[in-house]
Amino acid sequence: MRIYMMTDETPEDVKRWFRTATNDLWPIAAGSLSLRRSPCTRERCILCESNKGHLSYVLYVKQGNRRLSLYVPTELAGKIQQAIDNGRQLQDLIVEAGKRYTRALKTQRRAGKRR
């Protein structure tokens, strides 16, 4: 997504831009998706004995200081990855909104002092 910045934006312009830019960012998630290989609990499992292990997806997220992992079924992994990608895009938009909002407030302040 390209971000175009007006030179004399007002705080209200920034608000409208942000709402428009984030309108289609759903589903959304934070964290990382990982494909892991792990053993099972069955005796004489062919995959485990061959050191191939069982593949499964896991969503890793931080909650406070804790790192949590959630099992993700293979058929849902693509949807979860899309949500994570949208979450990263939202984070980038939040940073851009902060810069634009600050500039808009400073411009508004300067305009008020000129009067």
Instruction: Determine the pLDDT at residue 3.
Output: 55
- Residue 77 and residue 70: Cα distance in Å, rounded? 12
- Residue 61 and residue 83: Cα distance in Å, rounded? 13
Q: Where are the domains of the chain?
A: 11-110
**Residue 86: pLDDT above 80?**
yes
Most confident of 30-39, 50-59, 92-101: 92-101
- Residue 16 and residue 20: Cα distance in Å, rounded? 6
**Residue 78: pLDDT above 90?**
yes
Within 8 A by CB and 6+ apart from 114, the residues are none
Please give the mean pLDDT across all residues of the chain: 89
What is the SS3 assignment for 58?
strand
Place of tokens 């030179």: 7
Instruction: Determine the pLDDT at residue 92.
Output: 97
pTM here? 0.78
**Residue 1: pLDDT above 70?**
no
Summarised one tens digit per residue, pLDDT across range 51-63 is 777 889 999 999 9
Q: Which residues of 4-41 are buried (b: 16+ CB within 10 A; e: fewer)?
A: eeeeebeeeebeebbeebbeeeeeebebebeeeeeeee
